[in-house]
Structure 1
């Protein structure tokens, strides 16, 4: 009887932890719609960290200011996990490259795998995307299924290559400066 109660207690606590872990903070009531929190200032240089996927919505959401916007295609894996399909999104023109990557990362974030942050730099026609895992990550890039790899690496690569305004012809992925070879 005691082991059954203990097991039920552990299951209940796990369920509560999972439920609370998936919750997000409520929007600030005083802020006008679309201006609920400050937008980070990601830099395309390799010296400044770019935003984590959790700020993808803030990078791409209309802010109520007169910042010029642009429409780009991001690429997401289809329901069959066989191809990447384009989706048009509107982003701030001055931060379109960073916002595009943030959007793709937001799409690939799952309960057991997420990216803590990234940096992007552009050297001529080559983009270098340095991805960072959380310090307590349970999974690495090498543990991703082929579908997850397509969604993450394929989605970023195709997004960067197929938006001609960035003039990118190749994409390299690194983790803390070391090339990721899958």
Structure 2
């Protein structure tokens, strides 16, 4: 079991269950009913939308002939990975400085500030005020700002945006 667990650590157990059911040529609906569970519940799990409870994981382990606790361990490792990702993505700007209206088309609390840095920098430097620009400059640093805007100089409390792009004629 240790080798199997290591291989699947951090992956949602529903995805592993889906793969196992396909491998065994079992349909989700009848399998769920054989566990005395609603097919919608099992479907949500296999799509990664729901987590496994300890009771359901024991039923699945027994039905598939897995060692007791296998699916629950996979769920625990998945939850651990999710929490680690949350704590690692702790780098974000002071949201009291950034106006939510800048990100009108998205939930500002769900922005991945590391992965979406180009879009964030572009948006703030196109539409933000001086304080917002300074906050983003402090968050990302000179190199990332220059990569996106073409400049890292601050002139009159602003950075000349897109100075590296020449207008079309």
Identify the TM-score tier after normalising by the shorter chain. under 0.3
**Normalising by the residue count of structure 1, what TM-score does the alignment of the two structures yield?**
0.24
Flag the structure with higher helix content: 2
**Normalising by the residue count of structure 2, what TM-score does the alignment of the two structures yield?**
0.25
Flag the structure with higher strand content: 1
Larger radius of gyration: 2
- The answer to which structure, 1 or 2, has the higher relative contact order (CA under 8 A, 6+ apart) is 1
